[in-house]
Structures are given as C-alpha cells and as structure tokens.
Amino acid sequence: MSVHLHTQRADPAPPPHRPGRRRSRPTSRLWSQLDLKAAPYFLISPYFVLFAIFGLFPLVFTLWVSLQDYGLAGGDATFTGLENYSKLLADADFWNAVVNTVGIFVLATVPQLVLALLLANALNKRLRGRLFFRLGVLLPLVTSVVAVAIVFTQLYGRDFGLFNWLLGHVGVDHNIDWQSSKWSSWTAIATMVDWRWTGYNAIIYLAGMQTIPRDLYEAASIDGASPRKQFWSITLPMIRPTIIFTVFVSTIGGLTLFAEPVMFASNRMDGGTTGQFQTIAMYIVEQGFRNFDYGYAAAAAWLLFLLILLGVGINYTFVRRIGGSR
C-alpha cells in the first residue's frame, strides 16, 4: 500500500536530486506495477492453486477415467467413450441408489430444516440461559459422524436395540429389523443425519434472524400482528438468503450421504441385502473399490455431480418463493 502511494506521488513530479537512480527506474517501475497488479492475485492464489490440484484436477481426471474401461486392481485401461454412461443409465442398481439417495435426502432434509427454523425462532426469543441452549443445539455437530452412526446403529439393533425395546412397550411386539426394508432403514438413517445437523442449521438461521432490525417487529406489534404473522411476514422473508444457503448445503450433503449408511450396513458398501439403503456415494465406492471397475465408478461420480446441480437448481426455484409474494 505504501509503495502504491509512493508511485502515485512520484509520477507527476520526479525528484531531480537523484540522478544516480535514474537508470534503475524502469525496473523499479515495473516492479511496482507488478506489485500493484499481480500482488493481489498472488496473495489469493494459494486457495486457487490448492483448488486446482485437489479440486479441478480430480474433477477433470475423473471425467477422463469415466470414458475408459479402467480396472483398478492391476487391470488395463482402454478408451470406450460414453459406454460407461450408457451402461449406467440402464443399470437398475444405479437407479436404485439414486432413488434411495433422494428418498433419504427428502426424509432427512425437510424435517431437519423445518425443525431448525422453529428451533432458531425459539432461541431468538428472550429466554433464560440463552447461551446454554444456543451452544447446546450445536453440540451434536462436535461428535464425529462415525460415532453418531455407530451409536444409532446400536439403538436401531434388531434384537437388543433401544428403539425396538421402546416400541415393545407401546404394543409393537415384533422386533423390527431396521436394515431389512426400505422405509425402516431410510428412517433410521434420516434420524442420524437430523440429529447431527438440525442444530447447525438452527444456529445459522439464528444468526440470520439476529440481523433483522428489532423495530420491524415493534412496528408490527403496534399494528397488531400476531407472533405467527410476524414470523411469516417478517422473519421468513428477511432470512431468505440464509435459507437458500442452508438448502444448498443440505442438498450437497444429502446427495453425497455416505458415512451413516455405511456404518449402518456394518461397513459394507452394498447397503443392505438388496441395496435397500445404498446411496450413490456407496454405489460409487462399491463399483470402484469393491468391484475394481474404476471407469464405471468415475462415470457414476459424474452423474452424481450432475444430479447435485439439478437438485440444487430445483431447490433454488422452490426456496426463492419463500415469503415472496405474500
């Protein structure tokens, strides 16, 4: 910054009493020009360099691999064009994984965000021990995903699980084998996701709510608007950007769901005996690292990427309308 000022000042009136430096001036000028133009880019470059190495390169390399018949365990690679993609689109197991992923995503995300919104609204009120509660809802996030999944998998155990025990007390005398059917496994996984992420979203919503000026609410109160009306007409529209952000993040997280269902399946990638809860991420790992069909897995990864773009797009059009024309 100081150099910047120096050149600005030096240009209109060059100091005459430094003839010896004249010869080196074009270079110093070049340097300061460089400093001016290039330094900012240089300073932010670490992120982009790292992104290029660990983000962009794998992305492009995966695309390249997906166009080949690429065996992982010592097999050879041959270029096959779009064959992996056409095979995938006709693969019932892949679509099964897509349905599972979307199903679990809907089952997990909708209650999660609604609950987070209500929680944030409650935490935004004046209540005793506010800090305690605010920190409290964030606590599950500190636990590792795997620990959460292991504990929940035990709670959902068929023979000795807590949930079946509780259900036994309300008249369900048949032990549910949570892994063995779609609805039960999806529910189990959705609760794991929600337990961990609801508080996180609530805190983000809360931060959004706190930026809403108080006088809006005061004015509304004077006009006789009920708290419910205030929530719908002031809170929701005002935190719309925050909601859009959480929906994006949840969509990406939900569609790449992996650790919870894997732990739920005793570390297997096939998600239950008939793939009841195999997600796309699990399918990719199964193809790539269990069946060693790396090209096929890469193609599936790219389709997942497209699916996420699609999901984010759809959700954006939904969320954009929240509280809009009301």
- Residue ranges in contact with other proteins by CB under 8 A: 72-74, 93, 153, 157-160, 177, 180-181, 266-270, 272-274, 276, 289-292
Minimum CB separation of residue 73 from other proteins in Å reads: 4
- How far is residue 313's CA from residue 12's CA, in Å, rounded to a whole number? 53
Give the tokens for residue 234: 């002031």
Closer residue to other proteins (CB): 194 or 293: 293
What angle do helix axes 182-210 and 240-255 make, rounded to 10 degrees?
A: 150
Nearer to other proteins, 65 or 117 (CB): 65
How many angstroms separate the Cα of 133 from the Cα of each of 6, 30, 116, 209, 279?
53, 57, 13, 16, 34
Nearer to other proteins, 27 or 267 (CB): 267
Rounded Cα distance between 24 and 41, Å, is 26
Q: How far apart are CA 52 and CA 37, in angstroms?
A: 22
The smaller minimum CB distance to other proteins, of residues 197 and 296, is found at 296
Cβ distance to other proteins smaller for residue 249 or 259: 259
d(CA 73, CA 91): 23
Q: How far is the CB of 283 from other proteins (least distance, A)?
A: 13
As measured in angstroms, the least distance from the Cβ of 186 to other proteins is 14
In the complex, the smallest distance separating the C-beta of residue 183 from other proteins, rounded to whole angstroms, is 12
Q: Is 307 helix (H, G, I), strand (E, B) or coil?
A: helix
Q: How wide is the angle at C-alpha 322 spanned by C-alphas 198 and 317, nearest 5°?
A: 95
Longest dimension (CA), the chain: 99
Q: Which helix (H) or strand (E) holds 68?
A: strand 68-70
Cβ 56 to other proteins, closest distance in Å? Answer: 21
Name the amino acid, one letter, at 152: F
Burial of 50 (C-beta count, 10 Å sphere; 0-12/13-18/19+) = exposed
How near is the Cβ of 163 to other proteins at its closest, in Å?
A: 15
Nearer to other proteins, 90 or 131 (CB): 90
Specify the residue, 35 or 177, whose C-beta has the smaller distance to other proteins. 177
Joined tokens for residue 130? 């506010």
CB of 67 to other proteins, least distance (A): 20
